[in-house]
A and B are shown apart, each in its own frame.
Chain A
């Protein structure tokens, strides 16, 4: 019957809309909890440690690696135009405008985002959140908000560190390996990268991505089915939804930022 797939589609769309609605309410709850005292700084600091400090190694190593690849690829392309003194600009612009915020966000999704979803999901499965409710304590206030806020704060910091490591990686490869002049590398970098157009946009992207990952990861964990299969599904959904959202929002921010 041809009507069945159409009905299924309608049902699917309604479910997606209902899900988005729930996510919206969830976000509003987080904002409300974040703005009302008590501020739970202790929890926030713990979360910054778990999401930020523990991601440092992967971020810095990947940043260095990406910078080195950019240095190599950039050199190979520029050498045909005799413009290798612009290597700093090529590496810097690529990292600051796109690769820094996007790759940092994707790496953070995989590491910190999935960890957050799994942690909250497990708390649902072991009735810890119900336990909190029965003690008249709002689980969103105590468990979710510190994680979400920490993610937003941590993302621009990680992104900047990724970019700096990348610039360093490009310098290592370009200057020490391929013979580009160190002074040219840095001066082309500094003249090409502009605060308003590039760096500010990069930080805005990182903030937006932080909001996305924090929101999606906590929501997926919070609304997961209270079983181990449910937790696992929440984790994969977090990575998939957050990654796609990051790339889509990247396009829109890039397009609108120049305006």
Chain B
């Protein structure tokens, strides 16, 4: 898998169990966000297969990908809300496009999701009037508005204060528990990862490591242990060059 002339990774193979919360960890530039984009079909690998709910998305045309994406929800790192529309219209948009719900039903769904992410009364605001954390929460509400079976989140906790972070964490765990939604998230936030993840994929230059939090915490590799306990010794840093 390469962007232009920069190879992101090659020979990667991993799996995300359904109905579980999986977290992708790794250093910057290791390709964490790229994996999510590959799953969503936004980028194509040079070679290989990616199976989403049994269908190989590398083989599908753009049209066919749209039908796969009916069951996917994605939270982008920057939110990716449509900046010319209000919060309400942003959330209502996929419902208006793909369902026959009347406006009252749509309003119900929208307010339901906004409540779930802890936001109220911001219907009429535009995205550029929201704080970074609020944008993320609205984007998450939008990602789950069509009740997807698989939820992909790119750094859901970055830029959030501890309270909002915790709220998102609880929300993700709740929808996983109640709806059986498969959740795959990319994160830098080790603490919540260790709490909520059923499965961790750790990307590193030597290849990936997969396992439960407990398995990885018990790893013999000092780099892995340091990474997971956020206790990085200066001596471990590469030579400044």
Determine the chain A residues whose CB is within 8 A of the CB of B98 once the complex forms.
Answer: 135-136
For the complex, give the distance between the alpha carbons of A131 and B75 in Å.
Answer: 8
Interface residues of B (CB under 8 A from A): 37, 40, 42, 65-67, 69-70, 72-74, 76-78, 80-83, 93-94, 97-98, 142, 146
For the complex, give the distance between the alpha carbons of A126 and B78 in Å.
Answer: 7
Least CB separation from A141: chain B residue? B97
Determine the chain A residues whose CB is within 8 A of the CB of B78 once the complex forms.
Answer: 126-127
For the complex, give the distance between the alpha carbons of A126 and B83 in Å.
Answer: 10
A137 contacts chain B at the CB level, 8 A cutoff: yes
B76 touches A127 (CB 8 A): yes
- On chain A, the number of residues with a Cβ less than 8 Å from chain B's Cβ atoms is 13
A131 touches B80 (CB 8 A): yes
For the complex, give the distance between the alpha carbons of A11 and B18 in Å.
Answer: 47
Q: List 12 A-B contacts (CB under 8 A).
A: A126-B78, A127-B77, A128-B82, A132-B82, A133-B40, A133-B42, A133-B69, A134-B69, A134-B72, A136-B67, A136-B94, A137-B97
Least CB separation from A133: chain B residue? B42
- Chain A proximity of B94: nearest CB distance (Å): 4
Q: Which of A131, A134, A136, A138 contacts B82 (CB 8 A)?
A: A131
List which A98-145 residues lie within 8 A (CB) of chain B.
Answer: 123, 126-128, 130-138
- Chain A proximity of B77: nearest CB distance (Å): 8
- Chain A proximity of B49: nearest CB distance (Å): 20
Determine the chain B residues whose CB is within 8 A of the CB of A138 once the complex forms.
Answer: 66
A134 touches B83 (CB 8 A): no
Determine the chain B residues whose CB is within 8 A of the CB of A134 once the complex forms.
Answer: 40, 42, 69, 72-74
- Chain A proximity of B75: nearest CB distance (Å): 9
B42 touches A130 (CB 8 A): yes
3 closest residue pairs by CB, A with B: A131-B80, A127-B80, A136-B66
A130 touches B80 (CB 8 A): yes
Interface centre among A128, A135, A138 (most CB of B within 10 A): A135
A135-B83 contact given A126-B78, A130-B42, CB 8 Å threshold = no
For the complex, give the distance between the alpha carbons of A57 and B83 in Å.
Answer: 27
For the complex, give the distance between the alpha carbons of A120 and B146 in Å.
Answer: 26
- Chain A proximity of B187: nearest CB distance (Å): 18
- Chain B proximity of A44: nearest CB distance (Å): 15
A135 touches B82 (CB 8 A): no
Determine the chain A residues whose CB is within 8 A of the CB of B42 once the complex forms.
Answer: 130, 133-134
A130 touches B97 (CB 8 A): no
For the complex, give the distance between the alpha carbons of A127 and B69 in Å.
Answer: 16
Determine the chain A residues whose CB is within 8 A of the CB of B40 once the complex forms.
Answer: 133-134
For the complex, give the distance between the alpha carbons of A170 and B74 in Å.
Answer: 59
